[in-house]
Amino acid sequence: MTEFDVIIVGGGPAGSSCAWQLRRRGIQCLILDKASFPRLKLCAGWITPEVVADLEMDVTAYPHRFLTFDVTQVHLYGLNFKMRSPQHSIRRYEFDDWLLQRSGAPVIQHNVKHIAQHGGRFVIDDSYTCDYLIGAGGSSCAVYRALFRAANPRARLLQVVALEHEFAYKWTDGGCHLWFFDKGLPGYSWYVPKKAGYLNLGVGAIAERLKRKGQHVGTHWDRFVAMLRTRELIADALELSPQGYSYYLRDRIDINRIGNAFLIGDAAGLATRDMAEGIGPAVRSGILAANAIADGVDYDPSAIPAYSLPPSLQRKALEYLLLRPRAASTA
Ligand SMILES: Cc1cc2nc3c(=O)[nH]c(=O)nc-3n(C[C@H](O)[C@H](O)[C@H](O)COP(=O)(O)OP(=O)(O)OC[C@H]3O[C@@H](n4cnc5c(N)ncnc54)[C@H](O)[C@@H]3O)c2cc1C
């Protein structure tokens, strides 16, 4: 049996940030991840200056692709405008591996299946044991399933479904573009260039709203790609094969800690309610959970912003247009 004070299930941004902070606080931990890093993670790879600050990143020393956009090109109901707030793009394939290595924590490739509790300790697959268990396994986290699902069911109306493809491409338009609610999409599509010839395209939407409209995200993807071709943002001959993934937007803060078990990142469903931004909340929740263990204090995810945009009319409108049927359905 391998013993650690803390075991973290999942080595994405949530798990690696938690490990990084735990180790800085002098606490040893082990990361178990079913994937071998570097691994593919479907994601546009857009990060905010807050993420850079939380991770104390020296971007000039970051060894991989990192691109800064001073403005985002927003397309909404036929109108085009520039949103002025600096953002960055990274490739998750590179970024997550870099974060994991930087954490300095030992990592074992292991697909966690079974979690039991014996004598106040957690036992994972009869092979690993710990005092503190961190669930950082993303939307299908094994810790969530074993310990939290009954107490904290997911709000299905906040489920986002997304199709995405990232590939080597000599883009000519180096701007970051977002198309909101195009052709009735309950969400947005994106064109996010990466430094040195990579491009990320995707479509994300509220799954339940798509279903109610009798729409499929794949149809929106096809329309989106056709639109990019018409605008000559991508070549006609380019063949694309997007993959799908789903995760959850932030609900009210429910139960994300039971005794010495914690949920962080997508396992806790912390993506922002306006932009579906999940990397920042994953990083912040990982650091908060580590501090809660190190200081013996509460783990309070309410310190993680539920919105990407500052309080404004745009933010209210965006949240309303994304999540409007939820209110109707609960009424
Ligand atoms: C298409 C798409 C685009 C997105 N774009 C953005 C964006 O541009 N910006 C942004 O901020 N957010 C974005 N998000 C959200 C963001 O990707 C997630 O919120 C973020 O990855 C959450 O990090 P995490 O560490 O919680 O989970 P993950 O990054 O999913 O990491 C979880 C880890 O757990 C491991 N794991 C899972 N199950 C097990 C198991 N049983 N045993 C062991 N290991 C396990 C996995 O292998 C994985 O490495 C996007 C999401 C999607 C789907």
Residue nearest ligand 1's atom 44 by CA: 33
Q: pLDDT tens across 101-139, in order?
A: 999 999 999 999 999 999 899 999 999 999 999 999 999
> Residue 138 C-alpha to ligand 1 middle, in angstroms?
5
Number of the ligand 1 atom closest to the C-alpha atom of 51: 11
247 lines ligand 1 (CB under 6 A): yes
Q: What is the pLDDT of residue 319?
A: 86
> Residue 287 C-alpha to ligand 1 middle, in angstroms?
16
> Residue 284 C-alpha to ligand 1 middle, in angstroms?
14
269 lines ligand 1 (CB under 6 A): no
Residue nearest ligand 1's atom 52 by CA: 43
Q: Residue 88 carries which side chain, given as an amino acid letter?
A: H
Q: 2-66+90-154+251-308 in CATH: which number? A: 3.50.50.60
| H helical segments located in the chain | 13-24, 49-54, 92-103, 142-143, 207-212, 217-230, 279-295, 313-330
Residue 164, CA distances (Å) to 87, 172, 298 in order: 19, 20, 37
Q: Residue 268 carries which side chain, given as an amino acid letter?
A: A
> Residue 41 C-alpha to ligand 1 middle, in angstroms?
6
209 lines ligand 1 (CB under 6 A): no
Q: What is the pLDDT of residue 325?
A: 56
Q: Say yes or no to pLDDT of 327 above 60.
A: no
Q: State how far the Cα of 154 lies from the Cα of 246, in Å rounded to an integer.
A: 12
Q: What is the pLDDT of residue 314?
A: 84
Q: Say yes or no to pLDDT of 227 above 50.
A: yes
Name 100's Cβ contacts closer than 8 Å, sequence gap at least 6.
11, 16, 19, 31, 37, 107
Q: pLDDT tens across 35-56, in order?
A: 999 999 999 999 999 999 999 9
Helices (H) and strands (E) counted in the chain, each on its own, are: 8, 16
Number of the ligand 1 atom closest to the C-alpha atom of 192: 8
DSSP3 helix / strand / coil % (the chain, rounded to 5): 35, 30, 35
Q: pLDDT tens across 237-283, in order?
A: 999 999 999 999 998 767 899 999 999 999 999 999 999 999 999 99
Q: Residue 230 carries which side chain, given as an amino acid letter?
A: T
Q: Tell me how many degrees the CA angle 190-57-296 measures, rounded to the nearest 5.
A: 105
- The residues facing 134 across adjacent strands are 8, 262
33 lines ligand 1 (CB under 6 A): yes
Is the separation of the CB atoms in 16 and 96 below 8 Å? yes
Place of tokens 């990320």: 200
Whose CA is closest to 282, among 47, 37, 6, 39? Answer: 47
9 lines ligand 1 (CB under 6 A): yes
> Residue 331 C-alpha to ligand 1 middle, in angstroms?
32
Number of the ligand 1 atom closest to the C-alpha atom of 270: 19
326 lines ligand 1 (CB under 6 A): no
Q: State how far the Cα of 329 lies from the Cα of 324, in Å rounded to an integer.
A: 9
Residue 77, CA distances (Å) to 91, 171, 323 in order: 29, 25, 18
Every domain of the chain and the residues it spans: 2-66+90-154+251-308
Whole-model pTM?
0.95
Mutate to test the pocket of ligand 1, among 16, 18, 21, 33 (most ligand atoms within 8 A of CB): 33
